[in-house]
Amino acid sequence: MTDLQGKIALVTGASRGVGRGIAHELGAAGATVYVTGRSVAAAATTEGLRGDVNGTAALVTQSGGIGIAVRCDHTRDGEVEALFERIRREHGRLDILVNNVWGGYERFGDADFVAAFWEQPMWRWELMFDAGVRAHYTASRLAAPLMIPHKRGLIVNISSGDEGKYRGQLMYDVAKAAVDRMALGMAHELRQYGIAAVSLYPGFTRTERVERFASADELAGTESPRYAGRAVVALAADPAVMERSGGVYKTGALARDYDFTDADGTQPPPFTF
Catalytic residue among 172, 201, 227, 249: 172
Cα dihedral angle (235, 241, 242, 246), rounded to 10 degrees? -40
Q: What does the alpha-carbon distance between residue 13 and residue 122 come to, in Å, rounded to a whole number?
A: 23
Rg (CA), the chain: 17
**Residue of 227, 144, 236 whose CA lies nearest to 190:** 144
Q: Is 100 helix (H, G, I), strand (E, B) or coil?
A: coil
- Kindly report the number of other CB atoms within 10 A of residue 209's CB atom: 16
Let me know if 172 is a catalytic residue: yes
Q: What does the alpha-carbon distance between residue 248 and residue 236 come to, in Å, rounded to a whole number?
A: 15
Q: What does the alpha-carbon distance between residue 126 and residue 159 come to, in Å, rounded to a whole number?
A: 17
Give the N- to C-terminal CA distance of the chain in Å, as an integer. Answer: 32
The set of catalytic residues is 172
